[in-house]
Amino acid sequence: MTFAELKLHPDLLAALPSQYQQPTRIQQLAIPVALTGQDVLALARTGSGKTLAFGLPLLQQIKLQQAKLQQAKLQQTKQDEAAPQALVLVLVPTRELATQISTVLQPLAQAMALKLVILCGGIEQEKQIAALATGPQLLVATPGRLLDLLEQQLLIPDTITHLVLDEADRLLEMGFWPDIQRILARLPVQRQSLLFSATLPAELEEIASRLLIDPRRIEAHAGNSLVDEVEQRCYLVNKGSKAQALIGLLKQDIWSQVLVFINARDSADALAKKLNKAGIDAAALHGNKDQQVREQTLNEFKTGRLRVLVATDLLARGIDVTALPVVFNLDLPTSAPVYVHRVGRTARAGRSGLAISLVCHAEAEALAAIRTLTGSELPLHALEGFPVTDRVASGERKRPPRDKQANRRSAGKRSIKQFKSNSSR
């Protein structure tokens, strides 16, 4: 199948980059349905082309809507004419993902004479207000900044006819859900809603279904699965040996670029310093970084000027690096679906990739959850030069209860005299 067979506008087809020769499976399934105006719940692996799956049909629809609006304006007096209003709202959990989507859709929007504006934190609000004044038809926004603009009445959403929740599972979680509810309450009830995600836990299914009206459910791949092109390896190492094991692997294999995921922000900075001290060019990226620093670091990594990027899960859903060869999990994520998003940063768009996890005994429960979710065996291998001396936690108490009671009695003694008086009895 070709993109032309999907009945897309000639201007869109002409603007598609040359690397998009044939639509991916999610694009083949979602584009025809979205073009009809029906609500969609789409599940597809990371790196499978979800942005174009919702972007192409929406660009085409709003171009048609814009033509109708312009025709209607011809019948108005100049005094009645209003600036173009936003028709599409794309909600995403991170600034990086907003930028990634904009990078993909902006050239296509320009080809259709449409304007796209990003609304997210870390950017001066005044600049975004000025951009809104130009009358964009597409808004790509993070919930926090969008809600700020709505509550200040700097953005009137009455003309929104299409809503997209990209990485919907993240947006429906408790961290974002209150803001999402407040945003939805301000949007027109009559709209097309599209939910896209690589994972959707069972507990979020009901919430997702309440946001949609008679949706078409599309599953391009088995739920929570990974692309066949990604090779997964797990090494059992001591918890305190992970940084040195990573350094050893990075020096042993000369990968052009490496993305390392870690759970804590402070640990990300500390690891980047260790890597640099070992002669490995690295930088850390997490939510505490200034937006300008985040953009500069990410740009250096994407352009190949930075070899190793150490990131928290903030970036698991926002990095799209062409031909990224390997992803490391220095820490296993506590949430199994996050593993799917992390590993999905490699082996994108049909390319092959490698995902390496350094696992300690304390992460056995997290590893079991990942195995269950993904259906992958993920056997643990020994890593040469790093013998495992840590012991598996037995679950037994380290000290008998009576010893703790003795400690509490000792802690209650106020002076040396009390100890002496008791010992002489």
Structure pTM? 0.78
pLDDT of residue 123: 85
Regarding whether 345 and 283 lie in a shared domain, the answer is yes
Regarding whether 286 and 139 lie in a shared domain, the answer is no
Which of 194, 219, 244 is a domain's end point? 219
Domain of residue 289, CATH code = 3.40.50.300
User: What is the strand order of the sheet 282-285 is part of?
Assistant: 282-285, 308-311, 258-261, 326-329, 353-359, 230-236, 380-382
pLDDT of residue 274: 97
Regarding whether 264 and 169 lie in a shared domain, the answer is no
Domain annotation covers residue 112:
yes
Regarding whether 33 and 138 lie in a shared domain, the answer is yes
Which amino acid would we find at residue 258? V
Domain annotation covers residue 167:
yes
The DSSP secondary structure of 219-270, one letter per residue, reads ESSSTT---TTEEEEEEE--GGGHHHHHHHHHHHS--S-EEEE-S-HHHHHH
Regarding whether 262 and 161 lie in a shared domain, the answer is no
Regarding whether 247 and 171 lie in a shared domain, the answer is no
Domain annotation covers residue 414:
no
pLDDT of residue 82: 45
Which of 188, 219, 250 is a domain's end point? 219
Domain tally, the chain: 2
Which of 219, 245, 270 is a domain's end point? 219
pLDDT of residue 196: 95
Regarding whether 57 and 121 lie in a shared domain, the answer is yes
Domain annotation covers residue 398:
no
pLDDT of residue 405: 52
Tokens of 59: 């660009």
Regarding whether 256 and 209 lie in a shared domain, the answer is no
Tokens 């220095």 -> residue: 330
pLDDT of residue 422: 47
Domain annotation covers residue 15:
yes
Regarding whether 238 and 213 lie in a shared domain, the answer is no
Regarding whether 235 and 215 lie in a shared domain, the answer is no
Domain annotation covers residue 412:
no
Regarding whether 179 and 253 lie in a shared domain, the answer is no
CA angle 394, 395, 396 (to 5 degrees): 90
Regarding whether 274 and 313 lie in a shared domain, the answer is yes
Contact residues for 331 (Cβ-Cβ < 8 A; gap 6+): 242, 261, 262, 263, 264, 267, 363
Domain annotation covers residue 420:
no
Q: Going residue by residue through the chain (425 aa), what tens digit of pLDDT does each one get?
A: 899 999 999 999 999 988 888 999 999 999 999 999 999 999 988 778 899 999 999 999 998 887 776 666 655 544 444 455 789 999 999 888 999 999 999 999 999 999 999 999 888 899 999 999 999 999 999 999 999 999 999 999 999 999 999 999 889 987 899 999 999 999 999 999 999 998 888 888 889 988 999 999 999 876 666 767 889 999 999 999 999 999 999 999 889 999 999 998 889 999 999 999 999 999 999 888 888 888 899 889 988 899 999 999 876 666 777 778 999 999 999 988 889 888 888 877 667 899 999 999 999 999 999 999 888 999 999 999 999 999 886 655 545 555 545 455 444 544 444 444 444 44
CA distance 98 to 89: 12
Please give the residue range of the domain that contains residue 198.
4-73+81-219
Domain annotation covers residue 156:
yes
